[in-house]
Structure 1
């Protein structure tokens, strides 16, 4: 069983520094409206970046394995927080945008489906507490 260990250190006010097994650190801070200075990532938004990054890595790997011709792709996420505390994402929409002249829509859809249904652990966690909707767009 794989374990990850991180240490998150308070840097004063509302700012924290968090290490990562990759060796890269990041800063977390609240916005000015919440007593911070906005000098870092917001924790809930960072969760969305983790979701996009996890699925994006899966899809990029599958694009390579399937030898697909894709010029570029991006993932856009729109997420809704609950009204009551503790506020969490209950609805998440992920839009996968693929760009290229020779897109194989069937295989790219399969790559996204494999990430969503089988490979992305962050997706599996999100699906425990949120309704996740997936859209795929092909821009030739």
Structure 2
């Protein structure tokens, strides 16, 4: 399967990019880098892609396993190297689950399946960064 993305320059430092879903989004540099900050930063989008990829896996498994979860969010914290080309060399992904009846063992299994087996973006990140994960349960 091939993905084909078209990214058009919109002037100055801004670009508009499409997606196979046919949605579009804007990327732009911050004022400190000559842009106007009117869009997403490309490197930060990589972190959103990582969280989104794994999150979709976990959400699917929550549904399949019929687990009770009130809220779920992912925090992605990354270290950017100092020298050019700057890249993420360390990434921590935190999975936060909220609820009064959390099945911690099954939720951890869902996270592990995403991290170890299903999430292709996670696998790509492992090619250039040390990736660590943590699961945090917030019982209400």
TM-score, normalised on structure 2? 0.98
Equivalence for 1:94: 93
Structure 1 gap ranges (5+): none
Equivalence for 2:138: 139
- Alpha-carbon RMSD across the aligned residues, in angstroms, is 0.4
> What CA distance in whole angstroms lies between the structure 2 residues aligned with 1:106 and 1:128?
29
Structure 1 segments, 4+ long, off by >4 Å, are none
Query: What are the within-5 Å matches in structure 2 for residues 1-140 of structure 1?
Result: 2-140=1-139
> What CA distance in whole angstroms lies between the structure 2 residues aligned with 1:7 and 1:128?
25
State the aligned residue count.
139
TM-score, normalised on structure 1? 0.98
> What CA distance in whole angstroms lies between the structure 1 residues aligned with 2:82 and 2:15?
26
> What CA distance in whole angstroms lies between the structure 2 residues aligned with 1:108 and 1:45?
27
Q: Deviations over 1:51-106 (max 9, x none)?
A: 00000000000000000000110000110011111000000011100000100000
